[in-house]
Structure 1
C-alpha cells in the first residue's frame, strides 16, 4: 500500500495499468489526447505488480486497473474518469493538479 501511495504522489497524473487491458489503453489514450504526460505503471511488467494490484483493490479499485490518481487522489475506474470528462470536470481537475496548462 505504501508503494502505491508513494508512486501515486510522484506526478500530477499516475495510472496503474496492465499492458494487455483495453480499458487501460483507452484511459491512457484519453490522457495523452488531453496533453497529459502521466506516469504509467504496468502492473503485469513490474516485479511488485501483484502486491500493488492487491493494494489497489484494498483502496476500492474493482477491477484493479486502470486506476488513475490525479493530484495524488484516487479517481478510480474507467467509468468515473469518462464521466468526469463528459461532464466537463476532468480538465479543470487536471489543471488544478498541474497536469495541463490550457
Structure 2
C-alpha cells in the first residue's frame, strides 16, 4: 500500500515521525508490517541480499 503523505492532513506529522523514532530517513520512508525499513536504498540492499522477499511473504495476497 502506498500512502501519499502530501495528500494527508496529518502528512507533516508523518513526515517527522522517522526522526522521532531516531532514524535519519528521507521521505519516502518505507515500512513493512509497521516496521521502518528505511529509504529505497535500504529496500534495494535487502532485495540484493535475499532478505526482502521473505520479509514481504506474510503480507502477500493472492491474486489471479
Give your verdict on TM over 0.5: yes
Partner of residue 9, structure 2: 47
Partner of residue 98, structure 1: 59
With structure 1 as the length reference, what TM-score do the two structures score?
0.52
Which of residues 81, 84, 89 is equivalent to 2:43? Answer: 81
- Which structure has more relative contact order (CA 8 Å, sep 6+)? It is 1
Matches within 5 A, 1:11-90: 39-59=1-21, 60-63=23-26, 65-90=27-52
Q: Which has the larger radius of gyration?
A: 2
Higher strand share goes to which structure? Answer: 1
With structure 2 as the length reference, what TM-score do the two structures score?
0.76
1:82 Cα shift?
0.4
In 1, the alpha carbon distance for the partners of 2:49 and 2:61 equals: 18
In 1, the alpha carbon distance for the partners of 2:53 and 2:31 equals: 14
1:92 Cα shift?
0.9
What is the RMSD computed on CA atoms of the aligned residues?
1.7
1:67 Cα shift?
1.3
Any unmatched runs of 5+ in structure 2? none
